[in-house]
Chain A
Amino acid sequence: MSGNNMKVGVQTLGRFLSGMVMPNIGAFIAWGLITALFIPTGWTPNENLSVLVGPMIINLLPLLIGYTGGKMVGGDRGAVAGAVTTMGVILAADIPMFLGAMIAGPFGGYCIKKFDEAVHGKIKPGFEMLVNNFSLGIIAAITAVIALKAIGPVVSGLTTALGSGVGAIVEAKLLPLVSILVEPAKILFLNNAINHGVFTPLGAEQSAAVGGSIFYLIETNPGPGLGVLLAYMFVGKGTASKSASAASIIHFFGGIHEIYFPYILMKPVLVVAVIAGGMTGVTVNMITGNMLVAPPSPGSVFALAIMSTKGIGLVLTLASIAAAAAVSFLVAAIFIRRSAGADEAELEAAQASIAANKAQAKGAAAAAPAQLSAGSVKKIVVACDAGMGSSAMGATVLRNKVQDAGLDIEVINQAINDLTDADIVITQAELSARAKAKLPSAQHLSIGNFMDAGFYDDLVSKLV
């Protein structure tokens, strides 16, 4: 695999992962608010209400992610299968299984999709409902058991391995390097596993001996995440930048770090920014000998301030947060700015439309991506806003050309909001970013004018 392919692969994967999380951010915020308010170390501790915290993060949030993941792969039926499958990984370990849900959900959806494709058109009329319900039930039951017995232990194993990796770095006294493991692991929602599994026990030992520990300051420092969110706010464009301000408040003051993970999944290179920020924070604390007296929970600026040692400790803690945020902000800003301030998707859409316009001006066909091949493309969706106007016309033109070429490819038109599965999605350049956000798993092509026969001719010639 060439470097470029790998880069595209990582971006596609990142987009796919964040696509599972982003629609559920509201649920994360709900959980974050409840947690920040009612847990024993929260702002208004309340035992009766804090019972919500555990079940929500252990069950609800992974299920939502699994549901969404299944839906992205296999539509509404895939969503149900994804949720059932996710239940398997949830019960496979006692840590929150976000990573597991991100595997199990799409896996469940994929199995249903494959089954539906295999039996398509072979079910006797009148039996569709029966077959649909029982096939979903049986397949989901099987995938749930597979998830419980196979995926769960793998994810647990990965978590344990990360934990021992962190332990080894600590042993070797190379503390700042620990960020290289910790920050990416956080993005995969292993933050609690790392913090409570590794740092809290290490910190407890140390603070029993000397009255405090630097270990409490590693994973909990909200600085790196804050830097990335601020970079989105000030340098980024589009929806991500608009939502980043609300996210930064929940993250920084509420201490719910989960909020910023999707922003990094969207642009995986930003993991470099949080690593740099994390290393800066750890280094500042190491040089100044700063520590916290107890584990701050949640990782909000208030909790860290309260747990600081008396006297100058508070200043040092705040300084380490600020330094981490500043470094993370600078690095993230460079990466975000480098993509011309535009979201990756918008950028590509813009580029494609420029190419299309240029080609149109010259009277030549626009160039479709080179890596298309007939074997892998089974379904092309022409999408527009309403799903009945422009897309219907475009799909008709393309369908005729596909049929004339003797290709076995389904061409339909849909509203962008209805996109569930497709190998290729064609939209007008102005709408491509929205279509990509809706269905990140597909290959997206932008067209200048949806009746541009040259574009379709070129696409068909690539598919033959």
Chain B
Amino acid sequence: MDNTLITKETILLNLDATSKTDAIHKMCGHLFMVKKTQNPSMLFSDITKREAEVSTFAGSKTAIPHTISEHIDEPVLCFARVRSEDFTWDGNDEDVRFIFLLSAPAKDDLRQLRQSQSYVFSSVAQLISRSETLELWDKAESEQVILDSLNEEFKANLNTKTN
């Protein structure tokens, strides 16, 4: 497993955002601050381009914007919990509280890259299906709590991976 994928630095517990664009924009800016991207505006445009095709709203107040981009230095997962009231991600009835932003740099073997990154959202899917996890994330007061819950699930998924 990639230990630098998500760190305390890329967990935002109190993101002030009023719209999807605002949220993604701020998260890209944060990734610049923690030196994961040299060019946050291009990263933003790559993510919104993907978002324009189909919304990444995933249910359970969660959205998973993601992209393979030239403007990210290494695979990174950024978690954000929206502080203000939930806002609508896209269209109707898509209130969002948790945002998982995943980006990975393009590699020669795109197929291999996609497969190697699949465990991330696979884990997220399992996590958000449990109401106790959602409650935990909602109440968490330190980044470590979130990090632990994610890492635990990542480990379980990587170990049971069959192919």
Give A contacts to B, CB under 8 Å: 384-397, 400, 412-415, 418, 428, 430-431, 449-452
Contact = CB atoms under 8 A, between A and B. Distances in A.
B163 interface: yes
B67 interface: yes
Contacts of B119: 392
B114 A451 contact: no
Most buried by B among A393, A414, A428, A430: A393
Given A386-B67, A388-B102, A388-B120, A396 B114 contact: no
Interface string B22-65: 00000000000000000000000000001001101111100010
A415 B58 contact: no
A392 B124 CA distance: 9
Contact of A393 (B68, B115, B122): B122
Contacts of B123: 396
B129 A387 contact: no
A394 B64 CA distance: 12
B126 interface: yes
Given A415-B111, A415-B114, A451-B58, A396 B53 contact: no
A395 B122 contact: yes
30 contacts: A385-B54, A386-B50, A386-B66, A386-B67, A386-B68, A386-B114, A387-B114, A388-B114, A388-B121, A389-B56, A389-B121, A390-B54, A390-B56, A390-B58, A390-B121, A392-B117, A392-B125, A393-B58, A393-B122, A396-B121, A396-B123, A396-B125, A400-B126, A413-B122, A415-B114, A430-B53, A430-B54, A431-B53, A449-B57, A451-B58
Given A387-B114, A397-B129, A392 B120 contact: yes
Given A386-B68, A388-B120, A389-B66, A414 B114 contact: yes
Interface of B: 50, 53-54, 56-60, 64, 66-68, 102, 104, 110-111, 113-115, 117-126, 128-129, 163
Contact of B122 (A385, A386, A392, A452): A392
Nearest to B59: A451
A1 B163 CA distance: 39
Given A384-B54, A386-B50, A388-B118, 18 more contacts: A387-B111, A387-B118, A388-B66, A389-B102, A390-B64, A392-B117, A393-B58, A394-B125, A395-B122, A413-B118, A413-B122, A415-B110, A415-B114, A418-B114, A430-B53, A449-B59, A451-B59, A451-B60
Contact of B118 (A385, A392, A428, A450): A392
Nearest to A399: B122
A384 B121 CA distance: 13
Listed from nearest, the 7 A-B pairs whose CB atoms lie closest are A393-B125, A387-B114, A392-B121, A451-B59, A389-B66, A396-B125, A392-B118
B8 to A, nearest CB: 23
Nearest to B113: A388
B111 A418 contact: yes
Contacts of A452: 59
B54 A397 contact: no
B50 A393 contact: no
A418 B54 CA distance: 18
Most buried by B among A387, A400, A414: A387
